Amino acid sequence: MCGIAGITYSNSGRPVDAALVERMCEVIHHRGPDEWGMWCDGSVGIGMKRLRIIDLAGGSQPMSNERRTVWIVFNGEIYNYLELRSDLEKRGYRFRTSSDTESILYAYEEFGEECVQHLRGMFAFAIWDCAQRKLFLARDRVGKKPLHYLADSDKLIFGSEIKSILQHPEVTAEVHRPGIVNYLAYGYSPDPDTLFKGIEKLPPGHTLTWHNGTISLRRYWQLRFQPDFSKSEEDFLRETEELLSEAIKIRLMSEVPLGAFLSGGIDSSLVVAMMARQMAEPVKTFSIGFDEQKYNELPYARLVAQRYGTDHHEEIVRPDAEEVIPRLIELFDEPFADSSAIPTYYVSRLARRHVTVILSGDGGDEIFGGYDRYLDSTLSGYTDHIPAFARRMVLGNLPRLLPEWFPGINTLRYLSLDADERYIYKGSKGISWLHGQVFSRDLREEAAGGDPSSAVQAYLKEASACDSVTRRQYIDTMTYLPGDILTKVDRTSMLVSLEARAPLLDHRLVEYAATIPSHFKINGRTTKYLLKKLARKFLPEELIDRPKMGFAMPVATWINRDWREMSHELVLGERALKRGNFNGDYLKRVVNEHRQGRRDHSYIIWTLMVLEMWYRKFIDA
């Protein structure tokens, strides 16, 4: 696991400043504190910070081929590198190290840009091809590892984190204002956008080629849902277990201490159970809890730890807002409003005291249908029988005649929509409907009206032939999973130099899960039906049947108590309002309703707080 960065200029006579590449690497020191390296040659320079996991002595980067005509910096792990190496050796390649990096290098020489099709793992890498004077960037299929870039006719600058790109003297930290719409709706910037003008993310499953100032993007992988109705439930259970077991096995490869997050939920508990069957020594497991019992899952984590005799470590967390929040704002580079980043950071910090590699249960909800939002409400089941034009005319227009404080007004809006619109409404926290009230007029004009629905509409079209549950899974896999879940885990684990691996997101398992018919994922009102049935083979019943909690934080309470003054100043203070992004009257109403306990507006208030703190750290500075 590493952090990578680099620059190339169109003008071959313009040399890259080695000191600049060094600064770009130094600001991501946390991603790889064990070693650093750099290679500069005229108008190109690449560098990396390394966290040693495999081939501790011989895997130094940047790495070149024998002729020194192809150079690579790489972040991630390739789990099939030994098989790939064997194949490449048969083709005549001679390896000098035992690292997975060298396998990518020679795969590029043999297969060109199609090398990504031969890789199984998590990765973001950059290859400089001296002969073609070409830079080739690639990101793994589901977006486990990040890669950002800024490109114009003069140069391309890339980095694992945006802070590396901001080191370049020609890059100014300016706000991409239209991106505020999607950020407020979703709590993150969906790929490929960022909130920095000119800086983009390379989307998951894509490559980028830069040659003589021109870039070309190519999508090399797309998840396709093609349900296989010829198989029985027993077939899917058996094959899912086999694939998950194998995905865990290959992720136990490490030359440094390894363990697992154990939240007490089904996904991480199932991963721990299968690890315990494959490891000779007790699995090291890590859990955190809270004083507020509503958010505390430690009793469930202990059940699993006791059943499998793990070397269990846990900690009660009492988050220090003044200490951790500014640190996370700086870490994420962009505003990131998923408050579960706070406990994820704390459990990563706990784990890092004992191990360097951690396995997690991330991805189970997206690929096996675990979210309650995949279910429609009982009410919508009735209103869907009303013709669409009548539903919109009555239920859609009625809220316009009612005051915003009217009880049930949001339910009326929700019920007036069709199934896809309802999912967007939920995902955008209602802003797909309310954007006209939320944003200032000039921001709405700059953002083409201010409707965040466009961030997911393209994915709805791609999955238009699928049933509603599958369409919702596809949206989440393309947006929420890489933009929120995987970003959160990457940044918080890397902050403490911890490598996180997600066996449930092995691309072979993901592709297989896309063949499971949706009625084996959502069965009646039971979410994640198939995975829960598999879990009954390994886990206590009381863990499986309990309500889903998630890694939540009591943000609503903190806003009214611990953060009362801070939240008011960050949302309604003169400095925030002068930015001209939002309708001030709407913000005042939201804050007042939350303070009075009439509605829980903690999401919108927290999201605005994070945005203002980000402005002050990155833009005002």
Look at the chain and count its residues: 621
Closest by CA position to 363, among listed 505, 530, 534: 505
Cβ proximity of 50 and 34 under 8 Å: yes
Known binding residue 416? Answer is: no
Rounded Cα–Cα distance for residues 369 and 245 (Å) = 20
100 annotated among ligand-binding-site residues = yes
2 catalytic per annotation: yes
Which residues have a Cβ under 8 Å from the Cβ of 83 and sit 6 or more positions away? none
- Sequence-distant (≥ 6) Cβ neighbours of residue 102 within 8 angstroms: 63, 85, 95, 96
Asked if residues 459 and 479 have their Cβ atoms less than 8 Å apart, the reply is: yes
With 0-12 / 13-18 / 19 or more C-beta atoms within 10 angstroms meaning exposed / middle / buried, residue 459 is middle
Q: Report whether 370 belongs to an annotated binding site.
A: no
How distant, in Å, are the alpha carbons of 60, 124, 203 from that of 115? 21, 13, 17
What SS3 class is residue 162? helix
> Would you state the structure tokens that stand for residue 105, as one six-digit string?
């290098």
Q: What are phi and psi of 387, to 5 degrees?
A: -55, 145
| Dihedral angle, C-alpha 391, 393, 396, 401, nearest 10 ° | -140
Residue position matching structure tokens 């000039």: 442
User: 42 among the known binding-site residues?
Assistant: no
What is the spatial distance between Cα 57 and Cα 66, in angstroms, rounded to a whole number? 18
The Cα angle at residue 384 between residues 383 and 386, in degrees rounded to 5? 70
The alpha-helical segments, DSSP class H, found in 284-430 are 298-307, 321-332, 341-352, 364-368, 378-383, 388-391, 398-401, 409-415, 419-427
With b for 16 or more beta-carbon neighbours within 10 A and e for fewer, the 135-165 pattern comes to bbbbbbbbbbbbbbbbbeeebbbbbbbbbbb
Q: Which of 2, 40, 115, 466 is catalytic?
A: 2
User: Which SS3 state, helix, strand or coil, does residue 282 take?
Assistant: coil
Binding-site residue numbers are 100, 288, 360-361
Binding-site residue numbers for ATP are 288, 360-361
Active site positions, annotated: 2
Binding-site residue numbers for L-glutamine are 100
